Amino acid sequence: MRIIALFLAMVVCLGTNALAWVQESTGNVSKILEPIRKVGKNGLGNVDAQKAWKQIANLSPSELPEVLAAMDASQPVISNWLRSAINAIVEKAGRESKTLPLDKITALVKDTSKPALGRKLAFEILQAADNDKAQALIPSFTNDPSAELRREAIALLIEEASSQKKGKKDNEAKATFRKAFMSASDKDQVDTIAKELKGLGETVDLPAHFGFVRTWYLVGPFDNTKNKGFDLPYPPEKEVKLDASYDGKEGSIKWVDVTTEDSYGIVDLNKVLGKKKDSTAYAFTRINSPADGIVYVRAGCITSLKIFHDGKQIFARDEYHHGMSMDQHSAPIHLKKGVNDILLKICQNNQTESWAQKWEFQVRLTDFAGVKIPYTIVKQEGSAK
Amino acid sequence: MKTLHKNLIRIFLGASVFLGIAYAADWPQFRGPGGSAVSEEQNLPLKWSTSEGILWKTPLKGRGLSCPVVAGGRLFLTSSSNYKESRLHVMAFDPEKGSKLWERQFNATGNTNCHPKTNMAAPTPATDGQRIFALFACADVAALDRDGNLLWYRSLALDYPDITNMVGMASSPVLWKDVLIIPMDNAGDSFVLGIDANTGKNLWKFNRPRTINWSSPLVIPNTSGSAEVILQTDGSVLSVDALTGKENWALASAGPSTIPSPTAGEGLLLAPGKETLVLSPSAGNKVPAPQWKSNKLVGGYASPLVYKGKVYGLSSIGLNVFDAKDGKEVAQVRMKGPFSGSPIIAGNHLYLVNEEGSTFVVSLGEKIELIATNEIKDTIQCTPAVSGGKIFLRSDSNLYCIGSK
């Protein structure tokens, strides 16, 4: 009885540290994570998660792999609770000169079935603790499902190829750059590699590499005076009929087809539809997918944009002339095997500044990590030319 | 009884130090105490260079335009790193030694697109010395205690998916008692939130125009136990109650703009912009009365300040000084820009840092004159912080402490 009383007194005196120790000793990390997993929108679950966070932060370093494996990109807020707690565990281990379970952490990095976020953080912990061991893993990330780990491998390949080029070993450099190009997905790395390959006399097909949709049917202008067109569902939002004529802003309008030759799949509406202000245009494409799955529609657009998949709106952003960059917008869709329709609504406002005249967009289809997915364009017969 | 009373006072004072309750020498938020950009610190360094006067210099992970904040014996700072600025950092340093005490990282949950000059760590965090509240341009908010324990986390981008600013957000939060005021003016769903600092839950939400705005709120405590949250954007300045989020008053005017922030001092409220409005707050919820206005306080990114009967602000030539009573221009000091940060005053000297890392020191005695130009040749896009007899400068890649042991 005295022993129990003493133990309880210790728990009271040591506070959460002692409680964490008690929980840790059960090995039930999953249970400690529960309140964090219940965190929701608008601050839901924050108070309970706050207590759980301290317990996680006080876990033994030996529990790191389990906490790392719980980080999942599909739950970004929960992952941030865990990431910061992992930072605390590692810092504390450093202060107390405790050993990190580097073998288990390495195994987690290598296990591509585990969530990418946790594996990348595991890699960073390994890098800080044993950089040589971490560096040795990098070449294996060339086709890793984690975009962040793959980026490490591509950077290494670029370095290797640059060194080969500097040593006048052009054929080796071409092969290494080509290997890097095949796996790269981040724009800055792809651009660097493409420039080097072109300099070495090689050809590169950037739109194909990125998976840009190059062929579109366009119709416009519809009215967008006072930016009201963004929320006005013009006929193409109800049904796409490529042989239809519509009452447009300046008279009757028809669909026209266009295939962009731009390296980054940019479709310039000013060129196809004429330089219009206070206007709305639609772009339509039909693709054939060889498989079912979650796919990301990634778009760049300098003006307001809506995206529809098979008639359902999946993205809307009402913002004009604040910059355009590849993949600045992203929306997941469930692409079905076979035919899928993608419709865009691209609005232009009435700003007169020279930098506010562009009216253009680019769209590509990728997996979660930003790698293009396979698809073919379904050419529509009988459409207006 | 007297002994008990004295002991209680001692306990209170001791607890104040221990708990890190904000005191005059703290620099707890964007533009320091109360957003005034004025510190009560005295005898601060006047001259330094890359080879002398720098007490410590610490390399930083990631970039940031956010200013250091100092309270409770700790300096807190944010930065962002990685491809597309996706990694967010909150760090605590020992202000005496420059050693990092802890660092917590997060992944951006909102859109990280922005102009290349800025990044996700543009808003300056707010602290009371016990807690640190870090807002990032991707609309992520992290609340931590002084030891780096996470108190709560909010993804405003997931809570309000229509938030959008492809140029990059930069308005800073303000902490008033247990209400964290989060500005979120943008091209999409725009609002200011009053968040419970302890739980991270909304106390109130005040809807705002769907317009990009980089101006930060100003909090002015009032006599009724609450405070006024002053908000400005292009074409208006208004006041919201800090406890309820209800509008107190609003003033439409073409003067205020979307980059500099409102400031107050000596019974005046300044709403800077194309034509800076100088207002005299009224009792109750009445619209403040205009005192004077000026188009010579167009500071670009910089916000003006009020100190000892004068208003200091930037113009295209450098520093402009006005009589606070009537707006009469009393001095000009030429300085080489460009300036991304704002001027601050401490120890009767004004400090202003340009983007090349040159700090201009202006004496504010009888004669207002430039007395030193201190160069450290590093890119600086934020406002200095002052605490404990030291000046803290944050560059793109380093944190500097100017001072002596």
Q: At which of A141, A166, A188 does a domain end?
A: A141
Rounded distance between C-alpha atoms, residue A58 and residue A65, angstroms: 14
Q: Look at chain B and count its residues.
A: 405
Give, to the nearest 10 degrees, the angle between helix A46-57 and helix A29-37: 150
Which residues of chain A neighbour B166 with C-beta distances below 8 Å? 319, 322-324, 328
List B residues 91-110 in contact with A (Cβ-Cβ < 8 A): 102-107, 109
- Domain match, A350 and A371 both: yes
Contact A243, A384 (CB under 8 A): yes
Contact B119, B63 (CB under 8 A): yes
Which residues of chain A neighbour B149 with C-beta distances below 8 Å? 50, 53-54, 57, 88
Percent with pLDDT over 90 in chain A = 89
For chain A, what percentages of helix, strand and coil (3-state, to nearest 5) are there?
45, 20, 30
Separation in Å, CA of B61 to nearest CA in chain A: 14
Give, to the nearest 10 degrees, the angle between helix A147-166 and helix A170-183: 170
- Best mutation site among A33, A74, A84 for testing chain B: the one with the most B CBs within 10 Å? A84
Q: Inter-chain contact A322–B212, Cβ cutoff 8 Å?
A: yes
- Domain match, A185 and A308 both: no
Whether the pLDDT of residue A26 is over 80: the answer is no
Rounded distance between C-alpha atoms, residue A163 and residue A154, angstroms: 14
Which residues of chain A neighbour B162 with C-beta distances below 8 Å? 316-318
- B317 vs A71, B343, B351, CA distance in Å? 52, 14, 16
Rounded distance between C-alpha atoms, residue A355 and residue A225, angstroms: 19
- A359 vs A331, B31, B250, B264, CA distance in Å? 21, 39, 36, 43
Rounded distance between C-alpha atoms, residue B298 and residue A299, angstroms: 37
Q: What is the pLDDT of residue B404?
A: 83
Residue A291 lies in a domain: yes
Q: What is the pLDDT of residue B281?
A: 82
Whether the pLDDT of residue A19 is over 80: the answer is no
Question: Residue A76: which H helix or E strand, with range?
Answer: helix A76-95
- B336 vs B25, B350, B367, CA distance in Å? 29, 15, 20
Quick one: DSSP state of residue B124? P
The complex's ipTM works out to 0.92
Q: At which of A141, A174, A195 does a domain end?
A: A141
DSSP H helices, B249-326, are none
Residue A215 lies in a domain: yes
Residue with the bigger pLDDT between A130 and B7: it is A130
Of the listed ranges A4-13, A163-172, A183-192, A371-380, the one predicted with least confidence: A4-13
What are the residues whose beta carbons fall under 8 Å from the beta carbon of B36, sequence distance 6 or more? Answer: B263, B264, B265, B305, B306
Q: Which residue has the tokens 């108070």?
A: A47
Contact B274, B260 (CB under 8 A): no
A349-384: pLDDT as tens digits: 999 999 999 999 999 999 988 999 999 999 876 544
Nearest to A322 among B154, B167, B210 (CB): B167
Peptide bond into A221 cis (omega under 30): yes
Give me the total of CB pairs closer than 8 Å, taking one residue from chain A and one from chain B: 113
Q: At which of A88, A121, A141 does a domain end?
A: A141
- Domain match, A199 and A223 both: no
Rounded distance between C-alpha atoms, residue B64 and residue B72, angstroms: 23
Chain A within 8 Å of B274 (Cβ-Cβ)?
A: no
A119-132: average pLDDT: 98
Residue A382 lies in a domain: no
Rounded distance between C-alpha atoms, residue A355 and residue A357, angstroms: 6
Residue A385 lies in a domain: no
Q: Inter-chain contact B150–A50, Cβ cutoff 8 Å?
A: yes
Chain A within 8 Å of B136 (Cβ-Cβ)?
A: no
Residue with the bigger pLDDT between A182 and B22: it is A182
Chain A within 8 Å of B61 (Cβ-Cβ)?
A: no
Rounded distance between C-alpha atoms, residue A183 and residue A237, angstroms: 37
B230-270: pLDDT as tens digits: 999 998 999 999 999 999 999 999 889 999 999 999 999 99
Chain B within 8 Å of A74 (Cβ-Cβ)?
A: no
- Domain match, A159 and A69 both: no
Beta pairing partners, B191: B184, B207
- A250 vs A48, A255, A269, A270, A358, CA distance in Å? 59, 15, 16, 15, 20
- B378 vs B59, B90, B118, B399, CA distance in Å? 12, 22, 16, 10
The dihedral sign for the CA sequence A91, A96, A101, A102: positive
Separation in Å, CA of A15 to nearest CA in chain B: 15
- Domain match, A168 and A238 both: no
Q: Inter-chain contact A319–B152, Cβ cutoff 8 Å?
A: no
Q: What is the pLDDT of residue B336?
A: 93
- Domain match, A153 and A295 both: no
Q: Inter-chain contact A50–B162, Cβ cutoff 8 Å?
A: no
Number of domains comprising chain A = 3
List A residues 279-338 in contact with B (Cβ-Cβ < 8 A): 316-320, 322-325, 328-329
DSSP H helices, B289-378, are none
Instruction: Give domain limits for chain B.
Output: 24-402
Q: Inter-chain contact B104–A87, Cβ cutoff 8 Å?
A: yes
What are the residues whose beta carbons fall under 8 Å from the beta carbon of B110, sequence distance 6 or more? Answer: B136, B138, B139, B140, B155, B156, B157, B158, B163
Contact A266, A301 (CB under 8 A): no
Residue A269 lies in a domain: yes
Q: Inter-chain contact A318–B149, Cβ cutoff 8 Å?
A: no
Q: Inter-chain contact B200–A320, Cβ cutoff 8 Å?
A: no
Q: Give the residue on A whose Cα is nearest the Cα of B162.
A: A317
Contact B218, B200 (CB under 8 A): no
Structural domain that includes position A296? 211-377
Rounded distance between C-alpha atoms, residue B326 and residue B313, angstroms: 15
Q: Give the residue on B whose Cα is nearest the Cα of A302.
A: B166
Chain B within 8 Å of A60 (Cβ-Cβ)?
A: no
A232-258: average pLDDT: 96
Rounded distance between C-alpha atoms, residue B222 and residue B227, angstroms: 5
Tell me the one-letter amino acid at A334. H
Which residues of chain A neighbour B106 with C-beta distances below 8 Å? 80, 83-84
Separation in Å, CA of B396 to nearest CA in chain A: 21
- Domain match, A167 and A266 both: no
Q: What is the pLDDT of residue A16?
A: 40
Which residues of chain A neighbour B167 with C-beta distances below 8 Å? 322-323
Separation in Å, CA of B150 to nearest CA in chain A: 7
Which residues of chain B neighbour A151 with C-beta distances below 8 Å? 83
Q: Inter-chain contact A46–B165, Cβ cutoff 8 Å?
A: no
Q: What is the pLDDT of residue A121?
A: 98
- Domain match, A169 and A215 both: no
Chain A within 8 Å of B50 (Cβ-Cβ)?
A: no
Which residues of chain A neighbour B111 with C-beta distances below 8 Å? 328-329
Whether the pLDDT of residue A245 is over 70: the answer is yes
Chain A within 8 Å of B80 (Cβ-Cβ)?
A: no
Nearest to A319 among B105, B154, B166 (CB): B166
Q: What is the pLDDT of residue B52?
A: 95
Which residues of chain A neighbour B200 with C-beta distances below 8 Å? 43, 46
Q: What is the CATH number of domain B24-402?
A: 2.140.10.10
Tell me the one-letter amino acid at B372. A
Per-residue pLDDT of chain B (405 residues; tens, 9 = 90+): 344 333 333 333 333 333 333 444 899 999 999 999 999 999 999 999 999 999 999 999 999 999 999 999 999 999 999 999 999 999 999 999 999 999 999 999 999 999 999 999 999 999 999 999 999 999 999 999 999 999 999 999 999 999 999 999 999 999 999 999 999 999 999 999 999 999 999 999 999 999 999 999 999 998 888 999 999 999 899 999 999 999 999 999 988 999 999 999 999 999 999 899 999 987 777 899 999 999 888 778 999 999 999 999 998 889 999 999 999 999 999 999 999 999 999 999 999 999 999 999 999 988 999 999 999 999 999 999 999 999 999 999 999 999 987
Which residues of chain A neighbour B142 with C-beta distances below 8 Å? 80, 84
Q: Are strands B174-176 and B227-233 parallel, antiparallel or unpaired?
A: unpaired
Chain B within 8 Å of A155 (Cβ-Cβ)?
A: no
List B residues 204-243 in contact with A (Cβ-Cβ < 8 A): 210, 212
Separation in Å, CA of A184 to nearest CA in chain B: 13
Whether the pLDDT of residue A5 is over 90: the answer is no
Nearest to B187 among A46, A50, A319 (CB): A319
Residue A384 lies in a domain: no
Contact A6, A14 (CB under 8 A): no
Nearest to B188 among A79, A84, A319 (CB): A319
Separation in Å, CA of A168 to nearest CA in chain B: 31
Q: Inter-chain contact A76–B107, Cβ cutoff 8 Å?
A: yes
Q: What is the pLDDT of residue A381?
A: 66
Q: What is the pLDDT of residue A15?
A: 41
The per-residue DSSP string of A256-313 comes to: EEEE---TT--EEHHHHH-S-SSEEEEEEEEEEESS-EEEEEEEEESS-EEEEETTEE
A180-195: average pLDDT: 97
Dihedral-angle region of residue B256 (phi above 0 means left; psi in -120 to 50 means alpha; beta otherwise): beta
Rounded distance between C-alpha atoms, residue A327 and residue A88, angstroms: 33
Residue A383 lies in a domain: no
A248-257: average pLDDT: 96
- Best mutation site among A44, A50, A68, A152 for testing chain B: the one with the most B CBs within 10 Å? A50
Residue with the bigger pLDDT between A2 and B339: it is B339
Contact A250, A312 (CB under 8 A): no
Residue A245 lies in a domain: yes
Hey, is A366 helix, strand or coil?
strand
User: How buried is residue A3: exposed, middle or buried, by Cβ count under 10 Å (0-12/13-18/19+)?
Assistant: exposed
- Domain match, A326 and A183 both: no
Q: Inter-chain contact B188–A318, Cβ cutoff 8 Å?
A: yes
Separation in Å, CA of A359 to nearest CA in chain B: 16
A321-338: pLDDT as tens digits: 999 999 999 999 999 999
Separation in Å, CA of B70 to nearest CA in chain A: 22
